[in-house]
Amino acid sequence: MDQDAGKVRLINIALSRIGEFSITALDEGTPQQQKAVTFFTNTRKALLRAHPWNFAVHEVELARIPDETPYDFQYAFQLPADFLRLLKVHDARNFKVQGRRVLSDEKVCRIKYVRDVEDPSQWDSTFTDAFTYQLAGDMTYGLVGQASMSELMLSLASQKLKIAKHIDATEDVQDAMDDSNSAVYAARF
């Protein structure tokens, strides 16, 4: 399934949640399509930024910006185009995110970050479920004109998001507790 077909599928799930007609393409010109396309990207980015989703976490060594010496730092590094949220800068005590750059005193900058995963086929199913409720809530008032329906969808999205975050967070617990020499591990086991 290509990205556009995946987006149409998710939009149609969101539309069905609020009793609206489905769409067939991202450019068909119907009110449903226009509202959905208006909110889709912002809703995706906001939900991805809200949590370090396992499917969206990525690590990379940043390219240094040549001939740029920022004030208070020795080096500037370019953030990736798909960057949404910084989780960690490896081996750096002093750094700052400024615009689309990381400023640091280290010669090399390796980061862990949340990336913008545009392809819905790469998303976790619980994230997808929360996303469709959030999208439904975001576009409900403009399509249906009912604030109560919008509030209901956003409330359900919040509940689904909590479940999705919990499931996502527990999928890598074993890695975090793998140190059998740690005091936490010894106390628990």
**Share of residues in the chain with pLDDT > 90 (%):** 80
Number of H helices, E strands in the chain: 6, 7
**Which residue range(s) make up the domain with 49?**
3-53+118-173
Q: Are 127 and 2 in contact (CB under 8 A)?
A: no
User: Is 186 a member of any domain?
Assistant: no
- CA separation (Å) from 36 to 8, 13, 131, 135? 9, 11, 12, 7
Pairing of strands 110-115, 95-98: unpaired
User: Residue 17 is inside which H or E element, if any?
Assistant: helix 3-17
Identify whether residues 167 and 125 lie together within a single domain.
yes
Asked if pLDDT for residue 119 goes beyond 70, the answer is: yes
**Tens digits of residue pLDDT in 91-105:** 888 899 999 999 999
User: Is 76 a member of any domain?
Assistant: yes
Region 121-147: what's the mean pLDDT? 95
Number of domains making up the chain: 2
Identify whether residues 95 and 122 lie together within a single domain.
no
Identify whether residues 163 and 147 lie together within a single domain.
yes
pTM for the full model?
0.85
User: Is 81 a member of any domain?
Assistant: yes
Q: Give strand pairing partners of 67.
A: none
Decide which of 92, 115, 138 is a domain's last residue: 115
User: Is 185 a member of any domain?
Assistant: no
